[in-house]
């Protein structure tokens, strides 16, 4: 149980390097199991979810080494051992081991995945994809098992895009005989990163980033070296904090086009935005105006993961902002905590109407999920007085040293475990 303490009112100035992407490295680590090889990954963020995933790989007899932001996974000795449920149930991405195990061993078993409480998070699309490739699925209250002595290529169609289900389908299809075509695939950049990693492993994949992906099997390589893409949501979080606090902040090692829906919104709020090859610079006087309507959509639409932090940046903006959360039915729980700081928010089902207020006042609040917790930090940095955030290891799941980064920019913030 960690505690964040912050005193608002400081402007933010400086340059920060953004971490490797949590939502890219987690599927990539599962993918390292698909064939017996030695994988060296660079730009791996130091996060609880990454540590948890490395423990799962070790339970499967992989040899894992960590040296700062470099991780080496030797999956040649891997065996289909049972994995303790407490490792699997802590995060959503553990479900990706089902596709990776099935590809490697012809069978797999995972505990029901955990992860942020954002409303119902079914896995029906994951299971349908594995069944299309010949998997026999058995579901109990606690576990999901897949048996597929021979995976065969097929046409997987997703009626609605799912990042995780697209990733699970990719992992299993690498071991399938013949071609697999995925239509209705999610287009998030993290899927492109997974494709690039699987290609480095020897897979023949095309189309990631579009809604149609083709996989034609794999010619395994013994050694794989790969660098994880930047975390677009961590970058968005820092930019939203800078916009709300006011100042001049440059985020380095980002892919500007991965952030463009967020920077477009911040520009419309009155911020200055300058993009370089792998940088985004934001200037703000801290007096923002409403961006109007923000509707979360599958990529390339506005990312649901950035909704909470942009909403926090709108709390003192002039005018009324309408947030429509179309991806997760339970992703507005941070609004209740933000109201304790004096925010004017009216929530109706999946819509939040935020009316800008002149002042926010620090208070004791609780992080309800990863990005909602980050929203509390953004709001606390613009509130008068002290804000204390109780964090049941939620924020640290997804952000590497967020306290250090914000302090380096001039924020008065501390985090203690």
Kindly list the catalytic residues.
Answer: 116
Contact 347, 413 (CB under 8 A): no
Structure token digits, residue 372: 């909602």
Q: What is the nearest approach in angstroms of ligand EPZ to the Cβ of residue 212?
A: 17
51-59, 124-132, 257-265, 274-282 -> range binding ligand EPZ (CB under 6 A): 124-132
160-168, 241-249, 311-319, 352-360 -> range binding ligand EPZ (CB under 6 A): 160-168
Give 336's contacts (C-beta < 8 A, 6+ positions apart): none
Q: What is the nearest approach in angstroms of ligand EPZ to the Cβ of residue 124?
A: 5
Give whichever of 256 and 398 is closer to ligand EPZ, judged by the CB atom. 398
Which of 398, 403, 405, 406 forms a contact with ligand EPZ (CB under 6 A)? 398
262 interacts with ligand EPZ by CB under 6 A: no
Structure token digits, residue 114: 């955990």
Which of 164, 192, 247, 342 forms a contact with ligand EPZ (CB under 6 A)? 164
Give whichever of 14 and 301 is closer to ligand EPZ, judged by the CB atom. 301
349 interacts with ligand EPZ by CB under 6 A: no
19-27, 132-140, 141-149, 353-361 -> range binding ligand EPZ (CB under 6 A): 19-27
Give whichever of 68 and 120 is closer to ligand EPZ, judged by the CB atom. 120
Nearest to ligand EPZ by Cβ — which residue?
164
116 interacts with ligand EPZ by CB under 6 A: yes
90 interacts with ligand EPZ by CB under 6 A: no
Placement of tokens 């004791």 in the chain: 364
305 interacts with ligand EPZ by CB under 6 A: yes
Give whichever of 143 and 283 is closer to ligand EPZ, judged by the CB atom. 143
Nearest-angstrom CA–CA distance, 57 and 60: 5
Give whichever of 140 and 160 is closer to ligand EPZ, judged by the CB atom. 160
Which of 23, 30, 94, 284 forms a contact with ligand EPZ (CB under 6 A)? 23
97-105, 121-129, 271-279, 316-324 -> range binding ligand EPZ (CB under 6 A): 121-129
Structure token digits, residue 11: 């402007």
394 Cα distance to chain centroid:
13
99 interacts with ligand EPZ by CB under 6 A: no
Which of 30, 40, 43, 93 forms a contact with ligand EPZ (CB under 6 A)? 93
165 interacts with ligand EPZ by CB under 6 A: yes
Q: What is the SS3 assignment for the chain? A: CEEEEEECCCCEEEEEECCECHHHHHHHHHHCCCCCCEEEEECCCCCHHHHHHHHHHHHCCCEEEEECCEEEEECCCCCCCCCCHHHHCCCHHHHHHHHHHHHHHCEEEEECCCCCCCCCCCCHHHHHHHHHCCCEEEECCCEEEEECCCCECCEEECCCCCHHHHHHHHHHHCCCECCEEEECCCCCHHHHHHHHHHHHHCEEEECECECEEEEEEECCCCEEEEECCECHHHHHHHHHHHHHHCEEEEEECCCHHHHHHHHHHHHHCCCEEEECCCEEEEEECCCCECCCEEEECCCCCECHHHHHHHHHHCCCCECEEEEECCCCCCCCCHHHHHHCCCCEEEEECCEEEEECCCCCECCEEECCCHHHHHHHHHHHCCCECEEEEEECCCHHHHCCCHHHHHHHCCCEEEEEC
30 interacts with ligand EPZ by CB under 6 A: no
Give whichever of 24 and 148 is closer to ligand EPZ, judged by the CB atom. 24
Give whichever of 186 and 239 is closer to ligand EPZ, judged by the CB atom. 186
Which of 304, 307, 335, 387 forms a contact with ligand EPZ (CB under 6 A)? 304
171 interacts with ligand EPZ by CB under 6 A: no
316 interacts with ligand EPZ by CB under 6 A: no
Q: Which residues bind ligand EPZ (CB under 6 A)?
A: 22-23, 26, 92-93, 116, 120-126, 160, 162-165, 186, 304-305, 327-328, 370-371, 398
């Amino acid at each position: 149980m960690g505690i964040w303490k912050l005193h608002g009112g400081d402007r933010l100035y400086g340059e920060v390097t953004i971490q490797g992407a949590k939502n890219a490295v987690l599927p990539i680590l599962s993918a390292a199991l698909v064939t017996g090889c030695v994988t060296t990954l660079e730009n791996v963020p130091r996060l609880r979810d990454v540590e948890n995933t490395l423990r799962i790989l070790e339970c499967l007899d992989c040899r894992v080494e960590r040296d700062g932001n470099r991780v080496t996974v030797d999956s040649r000795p891997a065996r289909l051992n049972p994995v303790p449920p407490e490792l699997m149930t802590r995060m959503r991405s553990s479900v990706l081991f089902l596709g990776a195990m099935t590809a490697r061993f012809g069978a797999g078993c995972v505990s029901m995945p955990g992860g942020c409480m954002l409303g119902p998070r079914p896995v029906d699309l994951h299971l349908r994809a594995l069944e299309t490739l010949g998997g026999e699925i058995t579901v109990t209250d606690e576990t999901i098992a897949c048996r597929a002595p021979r995976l065969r290529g097929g046409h997987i169609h997703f009626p609605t895009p799912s990042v995780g289900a697209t990733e699970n389908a990719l992992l299993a299809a690498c071991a399938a005989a013949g071609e697999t075509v995925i239509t209705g695939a999610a287009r998030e950049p993290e899927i492109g990163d997974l494709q690039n990693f699987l290609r480095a492993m020897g897979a023949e994949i095309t189309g990631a980033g579009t809604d149609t992906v083709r996989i034609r099997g794999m010619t395994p390589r013994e050694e794989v070296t790969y660098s994880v893409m930047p975390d677009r949501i961590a970058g968005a979080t820092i930019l939203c904090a800078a916009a709300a606090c006011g100042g001049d902040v440059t985020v380095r090692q980002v892919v500007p086009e991965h952030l463009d829906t967020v920077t477009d919104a911040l520009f419309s709020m009155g911020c200055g935005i300058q993009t370089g090859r792998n940088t985004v610079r934001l200037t703000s006087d801290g007096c923002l105006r409403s961006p109007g309507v923000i509707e979360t959509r599958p990529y390339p639409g506005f990312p649901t993961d950035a909704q909470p932090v942009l909403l926090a940046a709108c709390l003192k903006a002039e005018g009324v902002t309408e947030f429509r959360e179309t991806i997760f039915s339970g992703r507005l729980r941070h609004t209740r905590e933000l109201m304790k700081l004096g925010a004017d928010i009216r929530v109706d089902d999946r819509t939040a109407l935020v009316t800008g207020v002149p002042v926010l006042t620090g208070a004791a609040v609780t992080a309800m999920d990863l990005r909602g917790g980050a929203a509390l930090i953004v709001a606390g940095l613009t509130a008068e007085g002290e804000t204390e955030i109780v964090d049941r290891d939620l924020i640290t799941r997804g952000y590497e040293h967020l306290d250090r980064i914000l302090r380096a920019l001039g924020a008065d913030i501390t985090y203690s475990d």
